[in-house]
Chain A
Amino acid sequence: MRDSEVTHFLVSISGQIEFASFPAGVFDEEVYVQYEFVWGPDWAVKSGLTSGVSQMARPGSNPETVVFNMPVELVFSSTNVSGWPQIILTVRAKNMMSGDSLRGYALALTPPTAGVRQITSPLLRPRAATMLGEWLAWVTGRYPELADPKMLASGKDNYLLRTESYGNITMSLSMISKDLRKLGYDNQPPAYKESS
């Protein structure tokens, strides 16, 4: 294929959702994470699972972290960098008291530069709009949830959603691209490291 005929580039994203950490410790018996990819209109999935659910996990020796090591692997093709895939993580917990309840949403951009990147993104949790709701959430251990977590990725129409942040989740994702350069894109930082 000649260079001028290249219209698509391919992006392969692979890696794993490593762990969630909660600075005050984990009080749930089982924690699990759902992931979901969101991408722009010019993008198409070539292979891989765009959503998934991890195993049930509980903290080990370190009471603050829950390790998932959930593998994620996808190949996208696109004509336009705009709408670069984002990953939405929903961390949920199961315990005797409250059943299945939300622990937080996290949103992360998959790395647009080639190579491995460790991404730590904070877990956000919507807050109840009223005092009563907040009290109920505190009593029952169940928090308000978003009907569609994908709205977080669009960045609009959030109507000043009130959130609080508790804990964060760490992923390590690596990106490999094909034909991105041929299409004139430059996404790589210079080889030298800037002193900062």
Chain B
Amino acid sequence: MNDFNRSNKVTGVHWLKKPITSLNIKLHLKPENGIALPNFEDFTNESANLVQTVDATEFNFKWQQKTFSTWELSRYSDIHNCISDTELEYHEIIKDSSIEASKVFTYIHEDNYLPTPKTENLREKSDGFEGLTSCMAKLSLNGTLSRFVNEDTMSMGRLFRSEDNIAVDGDSWMSMHVVLDNSEYNEDSQLLLKQEAVLLSLHHNTTRNYVIVSPDVNTLEWNPYAVETSTGVRWNYVYALQLEFDREDDVDDLEILLKKLKKKWHSKNKHFLNFTMPSIGKKQYFITFEILSAKDFDADELYVEFFIKYPDGVTSSDVHHGRTHVTTSMRSEDEPTQAHFAQTVDLQVEADDDHEPAPIKVFFEVISTDWWGRHRTEGYAYLPLPLDPGHRTRVLTCVRPEEKDKVEAESRRFFVGGCHLLKDLDVLTKPRMQNTDFHYASSGTLHLRWSTVAQSTIACRLPPAQPSVSSASAVLQGAEAVLKQYRKARARLAAATRDLKCHDGGGDSWVNG
């Protein structure tokens, strides 16, 4: 534990977002400043030439990339030294190609250089690599997880889960070690003294798909790691680690593609699927008109009957006629008599897009009732309801046809009453058709309000070739194209993440659980 605290080396756990095969380990090695001057032997030793530059030397390794030390090279080049399959394989590699020895070399999984974390726990610090052991002990026993988690907080749940059963059977590990070779050789690359220091140990848990990096990544400027042997003897080198992933253009492209696709899909969605549009070539009008009140009528109990006539070229909803409720007028000294209706009427009208339709004709007949149940016309009004959009209020003055003879008119009205005096309401629109036997007396006013909203299909968004196709199939076609693209993209995504899934594959049970 002391060791652990004294050194600045901590272990990091990295959750992999990309396949581990694309992992790139970058190691900067540099002689420690000002402490050790290079001695003569170093200059004569060819393998040590690398470190003579003051600048850090960079080493790059891929995951499970075998790099040989001088000693290994000389050992494996002789077939008699090779016993196991791995060693034979190395022999083949060395024999075929001219591989140079590296000062910093790797032990890959097949070398079984150091125990994997699982076996570590079972063996209880059997061999001397205490840094890793303590790290492992800390990782598997201590609750202070936060220091290990550096990047992917989204995966915390997995981390906790794995903390519980890190040593549980079934976890399989792949490890790799980057080792500094500080052995002493003679001129013929004969080994005089074998000295090796582990710079980095990587353990990949293939079940859970995470990597334990010991020590964790660092920077050369801020916290360089000192090279230490397993017993804690320092060599005069400092080093820094970086883990990088191959820039996968494929994935980036896919991301961009998906984003674009989403955007496109949304805009399509917006225009075709989510908003009801009128059929192509038609224009729809939504009119809400309100009969607010009738003012200045003599009678107490009033209602309004209305008739709607649609002009040619306008197909309409089924509203043609309606009656409001009967209401008793309010009388007060300082205000005109008023009867409140507040009735709303919704009309939905469709017309051809290419020409402006004529206004809808709305006729109103204000009728009074009395205690005897007689209905009398109090006044007629006519409103040409233009179909241009807007919100309008209008006060209509009502007129009442009366017989020329005043006495006759009064008496008929008083004794007989009667509504629907006009058989053809179009008279109101065309004054010249008026019957000369009657004159028109103005009575009260009718207060109206209406608002019109029009909707037309937008010309530029129409499918160009098939003007006769109905909007529904156009929608489907658009959606199908989008879906096709989406499927393609998904296939690509699956291809790109196949490796990930492979690693995940073994852990299905707990993913689901």
Q: Is the CB of A190 within 8 A of B393?
A: no
Question: A194-B392, A195-B392 are known contacts; what are 6 more A-B pairs with Cβ within 8 Å?
Answer: A190-B390, A194-B390, A194-B391, A194-B393, A196-B392, A196-B393
Q: Which residue of B lies closest to A192 (CB)?
A: B390
Q: A183 to B390: give the CA distance in the assembly, Å.
A: 23
Closest CB-CB distance, B45 to chain A, in whole Å? Answer: 60
Q: Which residue of B lies closest to A194 (CB)?
A: B392
Interface of B is mostly: strand
Q: Which residue of A lies closest to B393 (CB)?
A: A196
Write out the residue numbers on chain A whose beta carbons fall within 8 Å of the beta carbon of B391: 194
Q: A74 to B138: give the CA distance in the assembly, Å.
A: 56
Closest CB-CB distance, B128 to chain A, in whole Å? Answer: 59
Q: A194 to B393: give the CA distance in the assembly, Å.
A: 8
In the A-B complex, the 8 residue pairs with the closest CB atoms: A196-B393, A194-B392, A194-B390, A194-B391, A190-B390, A196-B392, A195-B392, A194-B393
Q: A196 to B450: give the CA distance in the assembly, Å.
A: 11
Q: A2 to B390: give the CA distance in the assembly, Å.
A: 32
Closest CB-CB distance, B384 to chain A, in whole Å? Answer: 14
Give me 8 A-to-B residue pairs in the complex whose CB atoms sit less than 8 angstroms apart, sorted by A's number.
Answer: A190-B390, A194-B390, A194-B391, A194-B392, A194-B393, A195-B392, A196-B392, A196-B393
How many residues of chain A get a CB closer than 8 Å to chain B's CBs?
A: 4
Indicate with 1 or 0, residue by residue over B213-230, a CB within 8 angstroms of chain A CB atoms: 000000000000000000
Q: A128 to B456: give the CA distance in the assembly, Å.
A: 56
Beta-carbon contacts under 8 Å, B380-426 to A: 390-393
Write out the residue numbers on chain B whose beta carbons fall within 8 Å of the beta carbon of A195: 392
Q: A151 to B498: give the CA distance in the assembly, Å.
A: 56
Closest CB-CB distance, A90 to chain B, in whole Å? Answer: 34
Q: Which residue of B lies closest to A196 (CB)?
A: B393
Indicate with 1 or 0, residue by residue over A178-196, a CB within 8 angstroms of chain B CB atoms: 0000000000001000111
Write out the residue numbers on chain A whose beta carbons fall within 8 Å of the beta carbon of B390: 190, 194
Write out the residue numbers on chain A whose beta carbons fall within 8 Å of the beta carbon of B392: 194-196
Q: Spell out B's residues near A (CB within 8 Å).
A: 390-393
Beta-carbon contacts under 8 Å, A153-196 to B: 190, 194-196
Closest CB-CB distance, B153 to chain A, in whole Å? Answer: 26
Write out the residue numbers on chain B whose beta carbons fall within 8 Å of the beta carbon of A190: 390
Interface of A is mostly: loop
Q: A195 to B392: give the CA distance in the assembly, Å.
A: 7
Write out the residue numbers on chain A whose beta carbons fall within 8 Å of the beta carbon of B393: 194, 196
Q: A195 to B395: give the CA distance in the assembly, Å.
A: 11
Closest CB-CB distance, A73 to chain B, in whole Å? Answer: 32
Closest CB-CB distance, A41 to chain B, in whole Å? Answer: 24
Closest CB-CB distance, A65 to chain B, in whole Å? Answer: 26
Indicate with 1 or 0, residue by residue over A88-118, a CB within 8 angstroms of chain B CB atoms: 0000000000000000000000000000000
Q: Which residue of A lies closest to B449 (CB)?
A: A196
Q: Which residue of B lies closest to A190 (CB)?
A: B390
Tell me which of A190, A195, A196 has the highest count of chain B C-beta atoms within 10 A of its own C-beta. Answer: A196
Q: Which residue of A lies closest to B391 (CB)?
A: A194
Q: A196 to B390: give the CA distance in the assembly, Å.
A: 12
Q: A190 to B393: give the CA distance in the assembly, Å.
A: 15
Q: Which residue of B lies closest to A195 (CB)?
A: B392
Q: A190 to B391: give the CA distance in the assembly, Å.
A: 10
Q: Which residue of A lies closest to B263 (CB)?
A: A4
Q: Which residue of A lies closest to B392 (CB)?
A: A194
Q: A172 to B390: give the CA distance in the assembly, Å.
A: 27
Closest CB-CB distance, A190 to chain B, in whole Å? Answer: 7
Closest CB-CB distance, B451 to chain A, in whole Å? Answer: 10
Closest CB-CB distance, B502 to chain A, in whole Å? Answer: 39
Closest CB-CB distance, B452 to chain A, in whole Å? Answer: 12
Q: A190 to B388: give the CA distance in the assembly, Å.
A: 13
Closest CB-CB distance, B77 to chain A, in whole Å? Answer: 62
Q: A194 to B391: give the CA distance in the assembly, Å.
A: 8
Write out the residue numbers on chain B whose beta carbons fall within 8 Å of the beta carbon of A196: 392-393
Q: Which residue of A lies closest to B389 (CB)?
A: A190
Write out the residue numbers on chain B whose beta carbons fall within 8 Å of the beta carbon of A194: 390-393
Closest CB-CB distance, A172 to chain B, in whole Å? Answer: 25
Q: Which residue of A lies closest to B395 (CB)?
A: A196
Q: A196 to B392: give the CA distance in the assembly, Å.
A: 7
Closest CB-CB distance, B256 to chain A, in whole Å? Answer: 15
Beta-carbon contacts under 8 Å, A54-68 to B: none
Q: A190 to B390: give the CA distance in the assembly, Å.
A: 9
Closest CB-CB distance, A32 to chain B, in whole Å? Answer: 37
Q: A128 to B390: give the CA distance in the assembly, Å.
A: 45
Q: A174 to B393: give the CA distance in the assembly, Å.
A: 27
Closest CB-CB distance, B468 to chain A, in whole Å? Answer: 32
Closest CB-CB distance, B418 to chain A, in whole Å? Answer: 35
Q: A194 to B452: give the CA distance in the assembly, Å.
A: 13
Q: A190 to B392: give the CA distance in the assembly, Å.
A: 12
Q: A47 to B390: give the CA distance in the assembly, Å.
A: 37
Closest CB-CB distance, A5 to chain B, in whole Å? Answer: 13
Closest CB-CB distance, B262 to chain A, in whole Å? Answer: 14
Q: A148 to B393: give the CA distance in the assembly, Å.
A: 40
Q: A196 to B395: give the CA distance in the assembly, Å.
A: 8
Closest CB-CB distance, B62 to chain A, in whole Å? Answer: 39
Closest CB-CB distance, B290 to chain A, in whole Å? Answer: 14
Q: Which residue of B lies closest to A189 (CB)?
A: B391
Closest CB-CB distance, A7 to chain B, in whole Å? Answer: 15
Closest CB-CB distance, A188 to chain B, in whole Å? Answer: 14
Q: A194 to B451: give the CA distance in the assembly, Å.
A: 12
Q: A83 to B390: give the CA distance in the assembly, Å.
A: 26
Q: A154 to B390: give the CA distance in the assembly, Å.
A: 31
Closest CB-CB distance, B326 to chain A, in whole Å? Answer: 28
Beta-carbon contacts under 8 Å, A119-166 to B: none
Closest CB-CB distance, A185 to chain B, in whole Å? Answer: 16
Closest CB-CB distance, A33 to chain B, in whole Å? Answer: 34
Q: A195 to B390: give the CA distance in the assembly, Å.
A: 11
Q: A27 to B390: give the CA distance in the assembly, Å.
A: 47
Closest CB-CB distance, B104 to chain A, in whole Å? Answer: 47
Q: A194 to B392: give the CA distance in the assembly, Å.
A: 7
Closest CB-CB distance, A186 to chain B, in whole Å? Answer: 12
Closest CB-CB distance, B504 to chain A, in whole Å? Answer: 36
Closest CB-CB distance, A49 to chain B, in whole Å? Answer: 37
Closest CB-CB distance, A183 to chain B, in whole Å? Answer: 14
Closest CB-CB distance, B289 to chain A, in whole Å? Answer: 15
